[in-house]
């Protein structure tokens, strides 16, 4: 089944819509959509309403992965990234996620995916992969250091990680106006850990990994003619992608 290039991906917004979104983000109070965080409920809502995957993000990750490689997507969600990589790079795709709902959606796309709780002491990987992708997952974990330690020796080339950038200009302005950064969808309990780019590079060094390079990721309603998010992601990118290797 070919990956849709339609409503799955974010659409370009008009200038007034962009301004309104920026204003809302800086000043609006965001009510919780749920009182308790349940990732099956999360994926039921997200898959129907938000569809938060941009083609730019998939292309950025895809450009870093060799064709025919084996790829494990930790926190694969509904499998959109693995589906894209399978179609574009003919990878050998594997995915794991804590949500049964998300795994069911991934399997509908033909992805080999399994329900796994990363927080359990017994979690470990049996296989070695060319690449491991961890996209917008680490911030959800109480102890991401433990996860990374279990990945040592389990990849041949790179770990590709994306996390929200708490040093993003919009987050700094929210703090200036007396608001904490809003990086969640349904409930603030989604995110337990926070990094700026400087913090993330230092954090990796502390747990014996090394950031080879990092990249800003396009966010459509902040996209302007001068690609500030691309040239200075520390300040102008809401999400940052890191290529990580062992030290």
For every residue of the chain, DSSP letters joined together read -PPPSSTTSPPP--HHHHHHHHHHHHH-----S-SS--HHHHHHHHHHHT----HHHHHHHHTTS-TT-EEEEET-TTSHHHHHHHHHH--EEEEEES-HHHHHHHHHTT-EEEE--TTSTT---SS-EEEEEEES-GGG-S-HHHHHHHTTTSEEEEEEEEEE-TTSHHHHHHHHTT------SS-GGG------HHHHHHHHHHTTEEEEEEEE---GGG--SS-HHHH-HHHH-SEEEEEEEE-
Please give the residue that has the higher pLDDT: either 1 or 163: 163
Answer whether residue 10 shows pLDDT above 70: no
pLDDT at 223 (0 to 100): 66
Report the percent of the chain where pLDDT is more than 70: 90
Answer whether residue 1 shows pLDDT above 50: no
Answer whether residue 97 shows pLDDT above 70: yes
Answer whether residue 4 shows pLDDT above 90: no
pLDDT at 6 (0 to 100): 37
Answer whether residue 160 shows pLDDT above 80: yes
pLDDT at 237 (0 to 100): 94
Report the percent of the chain where pLDDT is more than 90: 73
Answer whether residue 47 shows pLDDT above 80: no
Give the tens place of pLDDT for each residue, 114-133: 999 999 989 999 999 999 99
| Averaged pLDDT, 199-220 | 94
| Averaged pLDDT, 196-202 | 98
| Averaged pLDDT, 14-25 | 84
pLDDT at 7 (0 to 100): 36
- Worst-scoring range by mean pLDDT, 35-44, 45-54, 60-69, 124-133? 45-54
Sign of the Cα torsion 217, 143, 191, 98 reads: positive
pLDDT at 46 (0 to 100): 77
pLDDT at 192 (0 to 100): 96
Instruction: State if pTM tops 0.85.
Output: yes
What is the per-residue burial (b if ≥16 Cβ within 10 Å, else e) of 180-215? ebbbbbbbeebbebbbbbeebbebbeeeebebeebb
| Averaged pLDDT, 186-198 | 95
- 3 band by pLDDT with thresholds 50, 70 and 90: very low
| Averaged pLDDT, 211-217 | 96
For the chain, domains (ranges, CATH) are 15-27+36-246 (3.40.50.150)
């Amino acid at each position: 089944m070919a990956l849709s290039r339609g409503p799955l991906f974010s659409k370009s917004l008009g200038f007034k819509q962009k301004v309104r979104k920026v204003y809302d983000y800086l000043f609006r109070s965001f009510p919780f959509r749920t009182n308790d965080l349940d990732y099956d409920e999360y994926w039921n809502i997200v898959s129907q309403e938000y569809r938060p995957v941009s083609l730019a993000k998939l292309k950025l990750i895809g450009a870093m992965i060799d064709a025919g490689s084996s790829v494990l997507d930790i926190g694969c969600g509904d499998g959109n990234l693995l589906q894209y990589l399978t179609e574009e790079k003919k990878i050998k795709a594997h995915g794991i996620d804590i949500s049964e709902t998300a795994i069911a959606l991934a399997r509908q796309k033909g992805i080999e995916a399994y329900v796994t709780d990363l927080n359990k002491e017994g979690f470990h990987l049996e296989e070695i992969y060319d690449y491991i992708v961890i996209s917008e997952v680490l911030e959800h974990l109480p102890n991401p250091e433990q996860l990374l330690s279990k990945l040592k020796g389990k990849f041949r080339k790179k770990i590709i990680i994306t996390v929200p950038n708490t040093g993003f200009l919009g987050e700094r302005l929210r703090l200036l106006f007396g608001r904490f950064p809003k990086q969640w969808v349904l409930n603030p309990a989604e995110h337990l850990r926070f990094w700026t780019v400087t913090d993330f590079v230092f954090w990796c060094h502390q747990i014996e990994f090394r950031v080879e390079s990092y990249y800003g990721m396009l966010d459509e309603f902040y996209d302007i003619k001068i690609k500030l998010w691309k040239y200075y992601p520390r300040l102008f990118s809401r999400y940052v992608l890191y290529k990580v290797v062992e030290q």
